[in-house]
Amino acid sequence: MSESIDFLKNVRIFRDLTDEEIQGLLEVLHPRELKKGEILFKEGDPGGELFVVDSGALGIAVTLDDGKNLEIAEFTRGDFFGEMSIFEEESRSATCYAKSRSRLMAMNEREFFQLVESNPASAGKVMTRMLAVTRRRLEDTGGFLSDMVQWGEEARRRAITDPLTGLYNRRYLEEALEEYFMKARDGSKPLSVVMLDLDHFREINEKYSEKVGDRVIVSAAEIYRRYLRPTDVAARYGGDEFTFILPDTDSLTACSLMEDIRRAVEESNLPDESARTGAAKVRKSPTLRVTTSQGLACFPDHASNPKTLREAADSALYRAKESGRNRVVVASPTTSSKDSTTTQKGNT
């Protein structure tokens, strides 16, 4: 009993309670045990229950428009969540699952108001703390989970997409790569990852301005979008660097697809004045000859986990630049050996 009291006194919403008040709180809290992978609640389920994590780790994930799941938060020992569902009859905005074997202390709406009736003073302290913590969460606009609570679907899209190109951003890529890799491994299917840079992009910014550089990026992204398949994932990794995830795609198929993209960019006049940023057409810019360097790696040929797969693609990209740019380089079957090169070479 004393161990439980000490634990609850360190939970933020219970810190103002005396030992006697926490003993009364223990009478309305009930334990929940979850196995690894077990779902606590699903997105859309009715709410009405507060949870405190006693041990283990819980993940919070949302379903994206394409049906994929994206983890947006993790709760560990001493964290609490679901508090607002006690006061509002809102369905769950995300799915909660156990990332490891976990133990929770739960209190539903009926039990909370039982506490209010039996000990209004302690219930008032809990509510004051609860609302203060929740308000701080909602004010943290940099937090993805807070955005979800406040703004819903539109914030979800904003949080995972690059505002310039409309492609996915690095945040989404890091989550998606892990998920796609696990599916490929479990299904014994290939998975290719491509790292792509625009060649000499810094010179474009320096010579013509960053605005022109942005328009080049938007135009290039339109080409990527046009050639990639609906099942592929395209993300702007940062600056002029992009990453593609190609599910169920071996290195030969991926290389052929990337050659098409390499050739299409080289043969286009960028920026393409028909490209759009938001709802407005871009203003007239000088037409430039732009090329790409690309590094490609495939599971299971080149890596055994998501981290080494991306590293193999990045290493291949480096070799593409070292070899003269404007080419696709495929990682070798073993990442410790030199990369093999598939090239459609241009004058850069």
- pLDDT at position 333 is 76
Q: How many domains, in total, are found in the chain?
A: 2
Residue 348 lies in a domain: no
Helical segments of 140-169, H only: 144-151, 153-160
- pLDDT tens by residue, 133-186: 665 555 443 444 444 444 444 545 666 789 899 999 988 888 789 889 988 998
Same domain, 151 and 85: yes
24-50 pLDDT, tens per residue? 888 888 899 999 999 999 888 888 888
Same domain, 130 and 175: no
Q: How far is CA 230 from the centre of its chain?
A: 19
For residue 66, what pLDDT is reported? Answer: 66
Domain match, 151 and 232 both: no
Contact yes or no for 216/288 (Cβ under 8 A): yes
The dihedrals phi and psi of 232, each to the nearest 5 degrees, come to: -80, 155
Residue 163 placed within a domain:
no
Residue where a domain terminates, one of 156, 183, 212: 156
> Which positions ≥6 away from 67 have C-beta within 8 Å?
none
Judge whether 29 lies within some domain.
yes
The CATH number linked to 194 is 3.30.70.270
Counting other chains too, the contacts that 8-11 makes at CB distance below 8 Å and 24 or more residues apart are 8/52, 8/105, 10/78, 11/52, 11/78, 11/80
Q: Are residues 178 and 325 in the same domain?
A: yes
Q: Tell me, yes or no, whether 98 and 216 share the same domain.
A: no
Give, in degrees to the nearest 5, the angle at Cα 295 between 346 and 171.
Answer: 125
The residue segments making up the domain with residue 45 are: 2-156
Residue 165 lies in a domain: no
pTM above 0.85, yes or no: no
What CATH number does residue 59 fall under? 2.60.120.10
Separation CA 266–CA 3 (nearest Å): 67
Here the contacts of 38-45 (C-beta below 8 Å, separation 24 or greater) are 38/97, 38/98, 39/95, 39/96, 39/97, 40/96, 40/97, 40/98, 40/104, 41/92, 41/95, 41/96, 42/92, 42/95, 43/91, 43/92, 43/93, 43/94, 43/95, 44/91, 44/92, 45/91, 45/92
164 domain-assigned: no
Domain boundary among 123, 156, 189: 156
Do residues 97 and 213 share a domain? Answer: no
Q: For residues 145 and 60, is the Cβ–Cβ distance under 8 A?
A: yes
Given 156, 179, 214, which residue is the final one in a domain?
156
Residues 255, 299: one domain?
Answer: yes
Q: For residue range 104-141, what is the model confidence (pLDDT) as tens digits?
A: 999 888 888 887 787 787 777 777 777 666 655 554 43
pLDDT digits (tens, 9 = 90+) for 240-297: 999 999 999 999 999 999 999 999 999 998 886 554 444 344 455 677 889 999 999 9
Residue 162 lies in a domain: no
Secondary structure element (H or E) that encloses residue 320, with its range: helix 306-322
Question: Count of alpha carbons within 13 Å of 347, Cβ hemisphere only?
Answer: 0
Say what percent of the chain tops pLDDT 70. 80
What's the mean per-residue pLDDT of the chain?
82
Do 277 and 134 lie in one domain? The reply is no
- 309, part of any domain: yes
Question: Are 126 and 240 found together in one domain?
Answer: no
Q: Are residues 133 and 178 located together in one domain of the fold?
A: no
Q: Is residue 161 part of a domain?
A: no
Residues 152, 208, single domain; the answer is no
Residue 284, number of CB atoms within 10 A of its CB: 9
Q: 228 with 124, same domain?
A: no
